[in-house]
């Protein structure tokens, strides 16, 4: 699954640490999400979407298995 977290975060001038603090995760988790090494749970995906005030579909792109 691809995502636009890094692009949206940079566009809004937010650091990885700030995003991590807001989502109550570690900075490493944000880094893993941005690199596509880790796919978030539905709860975290909703938290990310809520933080950026957008929908999940605009952040995450499902590409099948």
Partner 1 sequence: MKKTRTVVFARCLVVLAMVSFVAAVVSQSVVSNIYITSALYLLAIISFPISMVLASIAAAKDKEHMKNVELARKDERLQNITMRSKAKAFDVISYILSLVTAYLSFSKMVDMIAVLILSVLTLSTLALQLYYFSKYSKEM
15 lies in the site for partner 1, by CB under 8 A: no
Task: Give the bridge partners for 3, in sequence order.
Answer: 60
Question: Per-residue contact track with partner 1, 34 to 63, x per CB under 8 A?
Answer: ----x-xx-xx-------------------
Question: CB-based burial of residue 62 (10 Å sphere; 0-12 exposed, 13-18 middle, 19+ buried)?
Answer: exposed
CA distance 15 to 64: 30
Least Å from the CB of residue 23 to partner 1: 9
Task: List 2's β-bridge partners, or say none.
Answer: 61
As measured in angstroms, the least distance from the Cβ of 15 to partner 1 is 16
Binding residues vs partner 1 (CB under 8 A):
24-26, 28-29, 32, 38, 40-41, 43-44
């Amino acid at each position: 699954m691809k995502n636009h977290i890094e692009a949206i975060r940079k566009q809004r001038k937010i650091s990885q640490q700030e995003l991590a603090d807001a989502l109550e995760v570690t900075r490493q988790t944000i880094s893993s999400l941005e690199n596509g090494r880790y796919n978030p749970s539905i709860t975290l995906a909703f938290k990310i979407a809520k933080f950026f005030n957008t929908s999940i579909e605009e952040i995450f792109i499902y590409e099948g298995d």
